[in-house]
Chain A
Amino acid sequence: MLCTFTTLTSLELHRRRTFFAEVSKNLADKSGEIIALLRYESADVFEICATVFRDGFADCDYKAFSVITSGDFPTLWKNACKTLPTDKRSAAIFSRIGKILGSCDSESQVELISSVKSELSAHAAKLCKQADDSKKLYTTLGALLGAAISIMMI
């Protein structure tokens, strides 16, 4: 039973890592949507938040972003990024958009956000690879840890 528990915990940790990678990938997609809205609609930052973050992704509802309707945008964006259910690195990359969005002409914004998108995509791919590579390790370590604790208890 102990072995099963530690294995499940270990798998949950692995699932969490995979989820972080998926959210990171979704953030790269969101960056793409922001670029499209800037390029074709010249939408303002509040319209962008309302449109891009209208729909959530898996357990991530992006509510902190979709409620940004007025106020000090860079601060609100920064605070919203703190609520993202992903790893620190992805959140830090995505939070850079808050400093760029709305602060200059569309072309420069598109250029800068494109680099954020590429960085997020690369990071998401890295996270995915790491998660895939470590799946066996997590399962084995979980079972072994359970077995070790059982032996020690006996």
Chain B
Amino acid sequence: MESKLTYALELLSPSVLSAVGRVSQDELKAADEICLRADRPVSLSIVSKSLLLDCICTSQDIEHTFKTACSYSLHSHSRELSCGYVTTRGGNRVGICGTAVNGESGVEAVKNISSLNIRIAREIKGCADEIVCSCGVSGIMIIGPPGSGKTTVLRDLARQLGRLVKISVIDTRGEIAACYRGVPQNDIGALTDVFSGYPKHIGVAAAVCVMSPQAIVVDEIGTEEDGKALEYALHSGVKLITAVHAEDFEEASKKQVIKGLLENKAFDYAVVLKNRKPMVTKLD
């Protein structure tokens, strides 16, 4: 965590860094986010509370952080920029807020950047212990609302199962492995391969073809294409471990893609995250 914080601090301009340096070490270590807003004070998010610092952020400070986050290479991050974020060293994510530059394929870039939110990456090792003990290497569907910790659980599952069998992680948004220049910034297991930045359906098909994994980990499936790719993986003898946005199993099973996968008996277990606690149910 400390090294991830150090990497986050490396993104800041000297004036902002000096203001952040005046914050107590305990508060700094507990910080989840550092937020820069043009012509407003720099703020730290510490366990859902905001701490305003005695430093007004200028547009130059924002430009410095933005360029550093992009490694002075807008072209290398064009896909991420169009989604509004950049994954940086240590797996930290810089969220970008500004004016959208729209093109034929939707938002192509962001200009006039007004705010940046540096989200300091967290790994909670051991949060999937119960799931690993109950389910082992099997088809697992993690269910939970946004912010319930689905991705954190998936990451820990990949880490633990990736020590036992070959796992392929389809990390479309760089949230699970958080690869920086091809190197996973999070501990995701010795036998785990990462398909970073791939659209889910292409990543799944590629993983099955080239890495012969025993299980595939993929975050938040939603489209029909994703479902078809997962069915293909399933019929190739690969176990599926995925996350779904839903309050409970009933809500998840109403989704068309999940419905199809359930009919194909893709999942052996459903894990519902309630208050960050996993509730494991064996599916028939």
Could you list which residues of chain A lie within 8 angstroms of chain B, going by C-beta atoms? Answer: 38, 42-47, 70, 72-74, 101-106, 109
Chain B residues near A (Cβ < 8 Å): 68, 70-76, 78, 181
Q: Are A44 and B78 in contact (CB under 8 A)?
A: no
From B108, which residue of chain A is reached at the shortest CB distance?
A105
Give CA–CA (A142, B154) in the complex, Å.
77
Which of B68, B74, B75, B76 has the most chain A CB within a 10 Å cutoff?
B75
CB distance from B197 to the nearest CB of A (A): 10
Q: Are A103 and B76 in contact (CB under 8 A)?
A: no
Task: Select one of B72, B78, B181 contacting A45, CB under 8 A.
Answer: B72
- Residue of chain B at shortest CB distance from A98: B72
How near does chain B come to A90, taking the closest CB pair, in angstroms? Answer: 24
Q: Name which residue of chain B comes closest to A68, CB basis.
A: B72
The chain A residue sitting closest to B76, CB to CB, is A44
Is the beta-carbon distance between B74 and A103 smaller than 8 angstroms? yes
Whether B74 pairs with A45 at a CB distance below 8 angstroms is no
Residues of B within 8 A of A105 (CB): 74-75, 78
Give the interface centre of B68, B76, B78 by most chain A CB atoms within 10 Å: B76
Contact of B71 among A45, A74, A103, A106 (CB under 8 A): A45
Q: Write the nearest CB–CB distance from A104 to chain B, whole angstroms.
A: 7
Which chain A residue has the least Cβ–Cβ distance from B182?
A47
**Of all chain A residues, which has the CB nearest B10?**
A70
Flag if B72 contacts A104 (CB, 8 Å).
Answer: no
Question: Could you tell me the distance between the alpha carbons of A102 and B68 in the complex, rounded to whole angstroms?
Answer: 11
A-B contact pairs, 7 of them (CB 8 A): A44-B73, A46-B71, A72-B72, A102-B71, A102-B74, A102-B75, A103-B72
Neighbouring A residues of B76 by C-beta, 8 Å: 42-44, 102
With a cutoff of 8 Å between Cβ atoms, the chain B residues found around residue A101 in the complex are 72-73
